[in-house]
Amino acid sequence: MSDFTPLRSVLYMPSSNAKALEKAKTLPVDAVIFDLEDAVAPDAKPAAREAAAAAVSSGEYGRRTLTIRVNGLGTEWHDDDLAAAAQAGPAGVVVPKVNSADEVRGLVAALEKAGAPDHTKLWAMVETPQAIFDVRELAAASDRLAVLVMGTNDLVKELYAEHVPGRAPLLTSLSLSLLAARAAGIAIVDGVYNDVKDTDGFLAECRQGREMGFDGKTLIHPGQIEGANEAFAPSERAVEDARGILQAWEDGKGSGVVTYNGKMVENLHVESAQRTLAIHDAVRALED
Ligand SMILES: CC(C)(COP(=O)(O)OP(=O)(O)OC[C@H]1O[C@@H](n2cnc3c(N)ncnc32)[C@H](O)[C@@H]1OP(=O)(O)O)[C@@H](O)C(=O)NCCC(=O)NCCSC(=O)C[C@H](O)C(=O)O
Ligand SMILES: [Mg+2]
């Protein structure tokens, strides 16, 4: 876990919005998605592409993980977007509506052909019924695939579902994607919450995402960053418990099972505690 990169808060911004691009340089966000897809009107796409590439190359975003979301496979903008993103060399190229393992392999080949540096990974958006059915193979299709990104707006649209508190219509898709990411050993971030003024609803969805196991949440507004950063970082209590578990394990060296605060501790709990502390250390390192 030493090279763990926090992805608690992953903020989309339209690459056509110069003010938002500027503002992101000061926001306490773990990662930025410079968007060329849904948030950018067709006639603004060429200029947005240039702005996104320039932002990535600028060196002005500090420790933030930078990514560019290109337009999807089969669109008139995809090839030019992918070439520009590969040349700019962000941490991730986010591709919407990836449907299958074959598409992942094709995208990785295209990135390599376009000269993307080794550190530029593929982030695949899972947001169609076909992707959900193929998500296990999709997530394991390439070592260059680093992150799954849930596209819950498109999923709701494709399922003819509704956005409801608790997200019952999406739970199967969220859970299958999460299982696939964990089986493949890659990161996964939850979808966006559209109502930027509904703080309670947003925080409830962050808690749900955290409890399910997501690494973080994609966001659409700066006002959502603080809540996501807090929800997806280990709480003080969790850090204290993790340290206590490690101490109890150390004290009981040699026994296969000990207790901490009256609860059973086995090797698997020790591994979880170590993970909690590694995430805590990585988050602290960002904040220093
Ligand atoms: C949703 C918004 C259109 C709201 O914009 P606005 O009304 O301008 O908000 P505010 O006036 O409250 O903004 C306050 C300040 O913050 C800046 N700002 C706003 N949003 C962002 C942002 N995303 N990144 C950076 N900075 C931002 C404003 O410029 C104001 O700055 P200042 O005046 O200096 O204080 C808007 O928030 C927005 O456009 N959000 C992003 C929308 C987007 O990217 N959508 C596409 C991705 S969502 C999606 O499609 C996921 C997936 O594919 C799926 O299917 O689910
Ligand atoms: Mg989408």
Give CA–CA dist 111/51, Å, rounded. Answer: 20
Taking only the tens place, the pLDDT of each residue in 92-116 is 999 999 999 999 999 999 999 999 9
207 is in an annotated binding site: no
Q: Which residue has the higher pLDDT, 3 or 42?
A: 42
> Ligand 1 in contact with 72 (CB < 6 A)?
no
The reported pLDDT for the residue numbered 256 is 87
pLDDT at 253: 83
154 annotated to bind ligand: yes
CA-proximal residue: ligand 1, atom 20 (nearest): 221
Averaged confidence pLDDT in the chain: 96
Q: What is the pLDDT of residue 70?
A: 98
pLDDT digit string, tens, across residues 31-76: 999 999 999 999 999 999 999 999 999 999 999 999 999 999 999 9
Candidate of 98, 220, 225 to mutate for ligand 1, largest count of ligand atoms within 8 Å of Cβ? 220
Which residues 6+ apart lie within 8 Å of 31 measured at CB?
7, 9, 10, 11, 64, 65, 66, 67, 91, 92, 216
The count of C-alpha atoms lying within 13 angstroms of the C-alpha of 116, restricted to the half-sphere facing its C-beta, is 26
Segment 202-210 mean pLDDT: 98
Q: Which of 158, 221, 225, 226 to mutate to test the pocket of ligand 1 (most atoms within 8 A of CB)?
A: 221
Centre of ligand 2 to C-alpha 217, Å, is 14
The ligand placed nearest to the CA atom of residue 34 is: 1
Residues 24, 25, 30, 31, Cα dihedral to 10°: 60
Given a cut of 80, whether residue 220 has pLDDT beyond it is yes
The domain spans of the chain are 9-231, 236-287
* CATH domain 9-231 topology: TIM Barrel (3.20.20)
CB distance 9 to ligand 1 below 6 Å: no
Residue 2 in this model has a pLDDT that exceeds 60: no
| Predicted local distance difference test score (pLDDT) of residue 1 | 53
pLDDT digits (tens, 9 = 90+) for 234-261: 999 999 999 999 999 999 987 889 999 9
At 288, the pLDDT band (50, 70, 90 cuts) reads confident
The pTM of this model reads 0.96
150-182 per-position pLDDT tens digit: 999 999 999 999 999 999 999 999 999 999 999
**DSSP, residue by residue, 103-171:** HHHHHHHHHHHTT--TT-EEEEEE-SHHHHHTHHHHHTS-TTEEEEEE-HHHHHHHHT----TT-GGGH
Q: Over pLDDT 70: what percentage of the chain? A: 99
- Report helix angle 78-88 to 101-113, nearest 10: 60
Ligand 2 mean position, distance from CA 162 (Å): 15
Q: Is 69 annotated as a binding residue?
A: yes
Give distance in angstroms: CA of 96 to centre of ligand 2: 6
Q: What is the pLDDT of residue 255?
A: 86
Ligand nearest to the CA of 218: 1
